[in-house]
Amino acid sequence: MELLAQCKEKINEADIVLVGFGKEFNIKREDILKSEKRYLNLDLDNACLSDLEKEWIELSIMYDCLNSGKCDIIEERKKLYNNIQKYLSDLGKSNYFVVTTCFDDIITYSEFDNDRMVAPCGTLKYMKCDKGCFKHVYDTPVVFDNINSILNKYYEDTYVDKDNMWKELSDAMPQCPMCKQVMSINIVKTNNYSEEGYRESWDSYMSWLQKTLNRKLVMLELGEGFDTPTVIRWPFEKVATVNNKATLIRVNDKVWQISEDIEAKAIPVNMSGVAFAEEIIK
Ligand SMILES: [Zn+2]
């Protein structure tokens, strides 16, 4: 495919690479959970818990899957990220940054440097008050570990004494120190999403981006639609406008079009972002 060769050549020639992993790369929580026996045996739908409490249990199992290295769907995606990282590393592209609209956290477990990464749509690592008492975010791993240890204690192929288990789980829910309500995970589209969760990495991204001006920059926009265009699509277009040495490679199987003003600096590719990534690493 000639277009693919053209993209590879552009990446090869670049001094700096900015990679945008769009929503197409996000693995849905239900897709992870549906292959988890522990989750299926829980029968969470019939538990006498609130929706938020049920969500914490789902997230805890997902967190366990991320860390166990035993969930096929997660490991497969991680492998793809690792291969892309290796591809860039083999080309000597050590000056890179990754922006992602995914909030499944898988990329943070990959070989990509976490200090060169920003996930403005949130992460499982932080929670905040669901009612919006304040913007502060809190670490979640201790909550996940606690919930998982309760689940493991009751699990023997199926869960024994579920009533006691639900009660213990309910007591393990993280509470806002102010309103005492159950807190929620800090990912986009939850109540009172807090930008505090990614402020530090966004600042690193902005200062990195400033240094790319008038340098040979390739922006690889992979599988990003119009769900949150302010994170990848529009900023990448803006960078292409102001940097005369920039190239935007937009890969999307639905909305790959490029506006006229940056046509000369862009390569639109009508293809799925994941399929494109799998092709370039071959
Ligand atoms: Zn609160």
Residue 103 pLDDT more than 80? Answer: yes
What is the whole-number distance in angstroms between the Cα of residue 133 and the centre of ligand 1?
4
pTM of the model: 0.95
What is the whole-number distance in angstroms between the Cα of residue 74 and the centre of ligand 1?
33
Residue 229 pLDDT more than 90? Answer: yes
**155-166 as b/e, with b when 16 or more CB fall inside 10 Å?**
beeebeebeebb
Average pLDDT rounded to a whole number, residues 99-103: 97
What is the whole-number distance in angstroms between the Cα of residue 178 and the centre of ligand 1?
5
Residue 33 pLDDT more than 70? Answer: yes
What is the whole-number distance in angstroms between the Cα of residue 80 and the centre of ligand 1?
39
What is the whole-number distance in angstroms between the Cα of residue 144 and the centre of ligand 1?
20
Residue from 26, 29, 37 nearest 54 by CA: 29
Residue 73 is encoded by which pair of tokens?
């769907």
Neighbours of 69 (CB within 10 A): 10
pLDDT band, residue 1 (cuts 50/70/90):
low
Average pLDDT, the chain: 96
Digit-coded pLDDT (tens) for 48-74: 999 999 999 999 999 999 999 999 999
What is the whole-number distance in angstroms between the Cα of residue 250 and the centre of ligand 1?
41
What is the whole-number distance in angstroms between the Cα of residue 129 and the centre of ligand 1?
5
Residue from 132, 168, 223, 195 nearest 56 by CA: 168
Digit-coded pLDDT (tens) for 145-186: 999 999 999 998 888 899 999 999 999 999 999 999 999 999
Identity at 199, one-letter amino acid code: R
What is the whole-number distance in angstroms between the Cα of residue 175 and the centre of ligand 1?
8
Using an 8 Å Cβ cutoff, are 219 and 189 in contact? no
What is the whole-number distance in angstroms between the Cα of residue 64 and the centre of ligand 1?
27
**217-239 as b/e, with b when 16 or more CB fall inside 10 Å?**
bbbbbbbbbeebeebbbebbbeb
